[in-house]
Amino acid sequence: MEVKMGDNNRSVKFSLEVDRKFEKVSGRLGRNKRTLFIQMVDYFYHTKKDPHDLNDEALKTSIIKGNQHLTGFIKTQEQSLLIPIKQDAERMVSSQRRILEWLSNEETYHHKNTSAGLQQQLQKLNEVDGLVRQLVKLAQAKEQLKSQFLFILDSYIKSREQFGLMTPAREKEELINKVKQLVRNL
């Protein structure tokens, strides 16, 4: 095959079998053989790949180096960012747990104290209620006693006014004793 490049003509000689393969590759890629040849030379020149290396060991080495570089980067990020973030998150969670435990204990303590305080207040209110009822009964009894005493006094006054100058002392004495007995019975 002969490749013409500008004014310089260079030729590359290869077997008929290689020419058939070259023809198939150029047909499959949709380029003429000259363009494909120029592109192949540029490709190998720029990538520094060895066309003899069919397994592309240079590419594998490059990929391995890239992977090692990425792995190193990830480990660095893990050490400088991820581990401290994880540690901070764990400390925060631990702190939140302690706060929740404290709040729970405070709530329990408050409920116990409130319940005990309510029981004491109820007991005191019941005692006060009993005393108020007693005072009401005593006040009613006092009013009743006053009205009875006033009735006795009024009866005494009426009976005393009915006495005249000639009323015997014995009747006066009986009235006094009767009134005294009524007062004692109150």
Sorting pLDDT into bands at 50, 70 and 90, what band is 147?
Answer: confident
* 11 burial via Cβ count (<10 Å: 0-12, 13-18, 19+): exposed
Which pLDDT tens digit goes with each residue over 93-138?
A: 999 999 999 999 999 988 888 888 888 898 999 999 999 999 999 8
**Which pLDDT score is estimated for 6?**
55
Return the percentage of the chain with pLDDT > 90, whole number: 31
The whole-number pLDDT of residue 28 equals 94
pLDDT at residue 63, rounded to an integer: 82
Residues 6+ apart with CB under 8 A from 44: 50, 51
Instruction: Domain ranges for the chain, please list them.
Output: 2-48, 146-185
Check residue 3 and give its pLDDT: 46
